[in-house]
Amino acid sequence: MIVGDLGAIARARSSPDFAMLELDGVLSIWLWLGLGFQLSTGAVLFWRLAQGKNRPRPLQPEWAPPEWAGKVTVLLPTLNEVKRLSPCLAGLTVQTEEVREILAIDSYSEDGTVASIEAAIAQDPRFHLILYDPDSDRWVGPSGALQTGFLRSSPESEWILRVDADTYPRPGLVASLLKAAIASNYDLLSVSAQFILKYPGEVWFHPAMLITFAYRFGAIGKRANSPDRVMANGQCLLCRRHVLEQLGGFAIARDAFCDDMKLARHAAKQGYRVGFLDGSKVVRVRMYEGVRETWREWGRTIGVRDASHPWQLWQDVVFLLAVQGLPPLILGFYAIAVPRSLLFQWPHVGLWSFNLLLMLARIAMLWAIAPYFDRTQAKAPWLFWLSPLADPVVWLRVLISALRPPKQWRGRRY
């Protein structure tokens, strides 16, 4: 009897139906684990997004009072910028008496960049040209040029403002930064910009890139809960002179492609007050031309690799996979491949419904970030609203950035 029962069990276990039941059981366990993981990461995401309702209003153009005259030195690092430099030079020219000097530090450009700077010097005596040889110290990116400019800046300037060549400063930018920094007692303050989009690929791709920062670091203006979560944007970054002196200038970022975050987080760790505010009303930026350049250049910084601990970097990679990379894929899989009879069985119903919630939150984020993009010149502006479909590709770019350290900046290899 016992032998017969064992034989029947053995025959049952070898049948295709039993194998399918075993497979379903294993699959169900993995689905439950996946759902639990997404629920926990999604809770973190929704908590971060909820902080956005209390974020400060965007900075507005301001006009400096007479006592602010000469308080700021602007540092403008350049390298082969002739195609995009003119709006930056024009925007700096219209800044008022609070700007004492504008130091353009050129790394021996091979185009007409120096000629453009010399033309600006002829119109505005606050402009000065400094030549910097990047081969002299092999600092990564613009840090060496910034350090050279800082060391040659006027000691009478109480503030140092770093501006990138791809920015379009609006009138009243510098005064608005000064007002915000003084009012909130910031030692270092940077702002987000409004991105100018033109070509279809970047209209579709760029918003998804920006969302990765919103998901990881929360709302603009929200104070970071630790120095390692501080956000910064080197396109427009203001720092007190004496603080920068205490920090050793830009030396902390000498080997960092993500130099702005490295400097800001170092300042926060030293106890200085660091702020990141909405500057979309006072500065615009034209970062990259087309999706290919967007993919390549964003990849240097999107992982924040050289300003993060390895555990933090990979925590962010996994987090973004759960809340941004997977939802479009999971919803697509359920729409195409899963039988309707399974859609309302657990854990399937929990998995697709929560990913639908994540996707709806992602679509709602498009309305929140829309003011940060100027699409008036875009050839296919409607692609902005389809950017959630780019999320899996953008997550792949974050993963590649985490795995492969950058080695090139503006054509120079390190």
Both tokens of 259, joined, read 């130099």
Q: Nearest Cα to 313, choosing from 409, 398, 386? A: 398
Which amino acid does the sequence have at 206?
H
pLDDT band at residue 410, thresholds of 50, 70 and 90?
low
pLDDT above 70 as % of the chain: 93
Q: Measured between alpha carbons, how far is 221 from 201 in angstroms, rounded to an integer?
A: 29
| The pairing of beta strand 188-192 with beta strand 236-240 | antiparallel
223-235 as b/e: b if 16+ CB within 10 A: ebeebebbbbbbb
To which residue do tokens 């759960």 refer?
322
Which residue ranges does the chain devote to CATH 3.90.550.10? 66-304
By CB neighbour count within 10 A (0-12 exposed, 13-18 middle, 19+ buried), where does 340 fall?
exposed
351-389 as b/e: b if 16+ CB within 10 A: bbebbeebbebbeebbeebeebbbbeebeeeebbeebbe
To which residue do tokens 């390692």 refer?
228
Number of residues written out for the chain? 414
Task: Pick 57 or 72 by higher pLDDT.
Answer: 72
pLDDT tens-digit map of 6-37: 344 344 444 444 344 444 677 788 888 989 99
In this prediction, residue 343 carries a pLDDT of: 82
In this prediction, residue 414 carries a pLDDT of: 63
Q: Which CATH architecture has domain 66-304?
A: Alpha-Beta Complex (3.90)
pLDDT tens-digit map of 211-269: 999 999 888 877 777 888 899 999 999 999 999 999 999 999 998 888 999 999 999 99
Is 67 in contact with 141 (CB distance < 8 Å)? no
* Cβ-defined contacts of 115-123 (< 8 Å, 24+): 115/82, 116/81, 116/82, 116/85, 116/86, 116/89, 117/78, 117/85, 117/89, 120/89, 120/92, 120/93, 123/93
Give the list of residues 6+ apart from residue 96 with CB closer than 8 angstroms, or none. Answer: 63, 64, 174, 175
Query: Which conformational region is residue 185 in: left (phi greater than 0), alpha (psi within -120 to 50 degrees), or beta?
Result: left
CA distances from 297 to 120, 211, 414 (A): 28, 16, 15
Over residues 74-95, the mean pLDDT reads 95
Torsion of CA 295, 299, 303, 304, to 10 degrees: -130
Give the other-Cβ count within 10 Å of 50's Cβ: 11
Q: Measured between alpha carbons, how far is 83 from 293 in angstroms, rounded to an integer?
A: 15
Q: Please list the residues that pair with 130 across neighbouring strands.
A: 105
In this prediction, residue 8 carries a pLDDT of: 44
In this prediction, residue 212 carries a pLDDT of: 94
Over residues 54-72, the mean pLDDT reads 92
| The pairing of beta strand 99-106 with beta strand 72-78 | parallel
In this prediction, residue 405 carries a pLDDT of: 76
pLDDT-wise least confident of 13-22, 56-65, 289-298, 347-356: 13-22
Over residues 36-52, the mean pLDDT reads 91
Q: Measured between alpha carbons, how far is 252 from 238 in angstroms, rounded to an integer?
A: 16
pLDDT band at residue 52, thresholds of 50, 70 and 90?
confident
260-289 as b/e: b if 16+ CB within 10 A: bbbbbbbbbeeebbbbbbbbbbbbbbbbbe
Residue 53 has pLDDT above 80, yes or no: no
pLDDT tens-digit map of 261-291: 999 999 999 999 999 999 999 999 998 888 8
Both tokens of 380, joined, read 């296919």
Quickly list H helices, 270-390: 290-301, 310-320, 326-336, 348-369
